[in-house]
Structure 1
Amino acid sequence: MSEFRQQLTLSVAVRDDARFANYHAGPNEQIVQALQAQWTVRGEPFIYLWGAHGVGCSHLLQAACHYAEGLGHQSVYLPLDELAEYSPAVLESMEQLPLVALDNVQAIAGNREWEEGVFHLFNRIRDRQGHLLIAGHQAPNHLGIELPDLSSRLSWGMVYQVEPLEDDDKVLAVLLRARRRGLNMSDEVARFILTRGPRDMQGLFDLLEQLDQASLSAQRKLTIPFIKAEMGW
């Protein structure tokens, strides 16, 4: 792999907190199982995930990379919305890694050069019997991909829709993330954050990080009065 591509993969490194251990699956438990089963004999080497912004597709792709690394398999996470400004030549030799995860594939829809680059990468990974994860905001046939061969490839393996969490599951997800951060949070506080904060999970997690930093700075517990004062709610 070229020095440029090595630098590129470092610049888009997976988030350390994007792991299965701090992902509350809720209705998406089957997806987590499928991603972990990729490394078993009966696992599906190609999986496509799709869902609306904030439902956790990016988290799942990055968690799958952490999981693979934990099993001794090298991986790379490539958010195509950030890489589309480069030449698709950055994809060359990526098939040498056991797992390639391409996020936000909708970003290359209509870009013939990039569509062909992803198509050829798919074929090279298949030829090497590697593993490929792709995520987008829409189902494969609704992405607006213009290259017919790529459009069909995206549906070759297992296709899963990542479902948004209901409110009770969102509370559990916030509590899980708080515990992983070492925060002592009550159900009441988690539900208060849910009623006043963002509705999408990434927004809630960003808010939780902000409140965690604020409570550390103020040396205060994360209580409803403290959150009201900090957020102006």
Structure 2
Amino acid sequence: MSSNQGAPQQLPLGVSLRDDATFDNFYLSGEDANRQVVTALKDFASGQSPEPVIYLWGESGSGVSHLLQSVCQGAEEAARSFQYLPLKDLMAMDPAVMLDGLEQLELVCLDDLHLVEGHPEWQEALFHLYNRVRDSGGQLLLGARKSPRGLDLALADLHSRLQWGLVFQLQPLGDSDKLAALRQRSRLRGFDLPEDVAQYILHRAPRDTGALFQCLETLDRASLMAKRKITIPFVKEVLGI
């Protein structure tokens, strides 16, 4: 996290950004509806967007977390102060303490927002953070698996606040795009994944893109260690599928 003088320092939570969570690594097909989303988020990352709040949602594996971290990578490149907070790792902690002082940053990215359902203390803390960030002139990026209207929140004021900002829904990839995304990701990792191997992985591994990319990462490491090419027999041996 880059920081201004007086801004909170990096939280000692083991929270870090994935090196491969960049805009360049996010697959877009030729006429992908997600292109508009990525363009808006690039402007948001660099500080060129006039929007104070963006709410990004999509089903598991659609790339919400990837894009939130991409925005943080972009903010770091632009020398902006920011913090990425994945709520899935923080729900057991005191929200008032966790969110204190974040309004001093230029950009706050909160992931897994749907997890605050059933947690009134988190909802109240998020409501106050939302107001503090807006009052300070900062920007807030929120990621969730549900739309703001679809969230089941006890705090009506938070529910209404979440619907004020710009809302984007990520569209999931179809099978042909998942295949292309796998091959693109392999090239970015420095090797070419044959189409028949990619097809084999797609039809036997878990279907969401996050799981598919994790399979690819596992295969890449195993291939380097064994000094073997990634073939269907090698996939069977390493992944057991």
Task: Give TM-score scaled by structure 2 length.
Answer: 0.89
Q: Say yes or no: does 1:179 pair with 2:187.
A: yes
- Cα deviation, 1:78-134, whole Å, max 9, x if unaligned, reads 011211111112101111111100011111122222111111111111111111110
Q: Which has the higher helix share?
A: 1
CA distance in 2, matches of 1:190, 1:205: 11
Describe the SS at the equivalent of 2:85: strand
Of residues 130, 133, 138, the one that matches 2:146 is 138
Partner of 1:116: 124
Task: Summarize the Cα distance change of 1:222–1:157 in structure 2 as closer, same or farther, 3 Å threshold.
Answer: same
How far 1:189 sits from its partner (Å)?
2.1
Match of 1:17 among 17, 20, 26: 20
Describe the shift of the 1:41–1:210 C-alpha distance in structure 2 as closer, same or farther (beyond 3 A). closer
Aligned partner of 1:17: which letter? D
SS at match of 2:66: helix
Q: Does the alignment pair 1:189 with 2:192?
A: no
Contact 1:9 1:76 in 2 (8 A): no
Question: Percent identity among equivalent residues?
Answer: 47
* CA deviation map 1:129-181 (0-9, x unaligned): 11111011111121111111110111111111111101111112111211121
- RMSD across aligned C-alpha pairs, in angstroms? 1.8
1:40 CA displacement? 5.5
Mapping 1:1-233, distance limit 5 Å: 6=9, 8=11, 11-26=14-29, 27=32, 28-38=34-44, 39=46, 41-88=48-95, 89-233=97-241
Name which of structure 1's ranges 106-115 and 35-44 shifts more when overlaid on structure 2: 35-44
State the number of aligned residues.
Answer: 230
* 5+ residue gaps, structure 1: none
8 Å CA contact retained: 2:55, 2:141: yes
Unpaired stretches in structure 2, ≥5 consecutive residues: none
